[in-house]
Structure formats: C-alpha cells, structure tokens
Amino acid sequence: MVHFKAGAYEHSFTLEELAAFQENHWVDRCGNGIMISSRLRPFGCQKGYLFGAWKAIEPDTIYSEATDSTEAEMRGVLLGLYRGVWMGDNGMAAGFVKGFAGTNSEGENVIYGKFIDLEGRFKGFLRGRYGFDPSVDLAAYPSTGWFDGVWIGKDLGIKGTLAGRWITDVETGQGFFHGNWGFNCLEID
C-alpha cells in the first residue's frame, strides 16, 4: 500500500492499482489540482515519463502548396503548442519535447512533435492523437483529456509508444500534460 497526501488531496493506492494508473484530481474551483501517472516497468524494458505545458493559439489553417496543375488543399489546423521534459527510465531528465496539436484534413485531433537530448541533439519524432474527457463538466472545471501515440527514432522506425493526460484552463487556454513513454518490448502480464 502506498499513501499519498498533498494539501487537500489524500489517497492510498495498492501496488496493483499503480501498475497502470492515471488520475487528475481537482483540489479547488480555480483549476488547481494533482496529476498522478504510474506505469509498470518490466525488467529490461526502458520506460519513462514526459511532462510539460501547452497553450492554445489562434487557429491557423495549413494549406499545401499550389502548383500550376493543382490548387492548394487544406492539410490541417494548428490549435496549440506544447513544450516539456522527456524523463529517462532512471527518473532523470533525458531531453525535451516540443510540438503542436490540431486537426488534420479529415478533422481528427492529432499531435506532432520532436524530442531532443539535453545537449540539443535530435532524437526523434512524436506522432499521435488526443481527445477530451467526456465525464468533465466544462462549465464547472477546466477541460481535460488524453493523448496517445508513438515515438519515432532518427532512422524513422517506430521505437515505442506514449500516452498520457492533459488539462487546460478554458479561460486562458493554458494547461499541462503528463504521460508515459516506453520502448516496444515484449510485455508479460
């Protein structure tokens, strides 16, 4: 049993609950809260965390280049930008993430980005999707949701997965995210 207490929030977790746990808990109506994320790490399979901040931007539509034979086509709409920290499996900062969220030409919610190491060397791309938590009343609390995707190495091969949660203050358009990443490994249940 693990007991966690921070301000008005207090909860006890079993180790089984912590094997794959994500929770956002509000501590007041001002949007202050706690985000908790945990994930089981099988022996020999690197996994870590990512976290950071994001902000909404004025929607910006992206078009393909028009040529003599084709018209420009709508490719997507940028809706937000994010920056954060990529944590290694040892719990130490291993790099940084930076990217954007929006919709593609089919109207799907998508995220794209990159990650670099602590010296600024390119390590790979992030690609995925995001959605909103339907159980949250937007009139009472900030907006929350989820994201998931893959991370792609310098050789353009899919190296692993990522998943997490985000929260946004509806009035300011600013928010935070946290999640997990892992190499594609043989996982034993």
Sorted by where each begins, the domain ranges of the chain are: 43-63+73-183
pLDDT at residue 107 greater than cutoff 70: yes
Distances (CA, A) of 171 to 29, 121, 130, 139: 13, 36, 20, 11
CATH fold for the domain made of 43-63+73-183: Porin (2.40.160)
pTM: 0.74
Give dist(CA 63, CA 3) in Å, integer.
51
Name 97's Cβ contacts closer than 8 Å, sequence gap at least 6.
50, 52, 82, 83, 84, 85, 86, 113, 114, 115, 126
pLDDT at residue 188 greater than cutoff 50: no
For the chain, what percent of residues have pLDDT higher than 70?
80
Between 54 and 44, the higher pLDDT residue: 54
pLDDT at residue 14 greater than cutoff 60: yes
Which of 157, 29, 34, 166 shows the shortest CA–CA distance to 97? 166
pLDDT at residue 22 greater than cutoff 50: yes
Between 91 and 94, the higher pLDDT residue: 94
**Residues present in the chain in total:** 189
DSSP symbol at 136: S
Q: What is the pLDDT of residue 96?
A: 97
Side-chain-facing half-sphere of 56: CA atoms under 13 Å: 13
* Residue 189 banded pLDDT, cuts 50, 70, 90: very low
Mean pLDDT over 112-138 rounds to 89
